[in-house]
Amino acid sequence: MDILEEILEQIKKYNRIIIHRHQRPDPDAIGSQVGLAKILQASFPHKQIKVVGKQIDGLSWLGNMDDVEGEFFDDALVIVIDTANSPRIDDRRFENGAFLIKIDHHPNDDQFGDLMWVKEEASSSSELVFDFFVRFKDQLTLTKEAARDLYAGIVGDTGRFMYPSTSAHTHNVVAGLMETGFDMVEVNQTLDGIPESVAHLSAYVYDNLKINSNGAAYIVLSKEVLEKFNLKDAGTAGIVSIPGRILTVKWWAIFVEQDDHSYRVRLRSKGPVINELAKKHDGGGHPLASGAKAKNLEEVNQIISELDQLA
Mean pLDDT within 185-209: 95
Average pLDDT over residues 263-270: 95
Q: How far is CA 162 from CA 143, 274, 275, 302, in A?
A: 27, 18, 19, 30
> Would you list the DSSP string of 83-134?
-SSGGGBSSGGGGGSSEEEEEE-S---S--SSEEEE-TTSS-HHHHHHHHHH
Distances 54 to 221, 228, 303 between C-alpha atoms, Å:
24, 26, 29
Q: Rounded to two decimals, what is the model's pTM?
A: 0.91
pLDDT at 232: 86
- pLDDT surpassing 90 at residue 123: yes
pLDDT average, residue stretch 163-169: 94
Q: Kindly tell me if the per-residue pLDDT of 224 is higher than 80.
A: yes
Q: Residue 1 — pLDDT band, cuts 50, 70, 90?
A: confident
Average pLDDT over residues 251-261: 95
Q: Where are the domains of the chain?
A: 3-192, 199-309
Which helix (H) or strand (E) segment is 78 a member of? strand 77-81
Residue of 259, 243, 240, 310 lying closest to 280 (CA atoms): 310
Band (pLDDT 50/70/90 cuts) for residue 57 is confident
Class of domain 199-309: alpha beta
Q: What share of residues in the chain are helix, strand, coil (percent, to 5)? A: 45, 20, 40
3-192 folds as: inorganic pyrophosphatase (n-terminal core) (3.90.1640)
Question: What's the pLDDT band for 285 if we cut at 50, 70, 90?
Answer: confident
pLDDT grade, residue 234 (50/70/90)? confident
Is the pLDDT confidence value at 311 over 80?
no
Give the residue-averaged pLDDT of 54-74. Answer: 94
Per the document, the length of the chain is 311
Same fold, 3-192 and 199-309: no
- For residue range 93-107, list pLDDT tens digits in order: 999 999 999 999 999
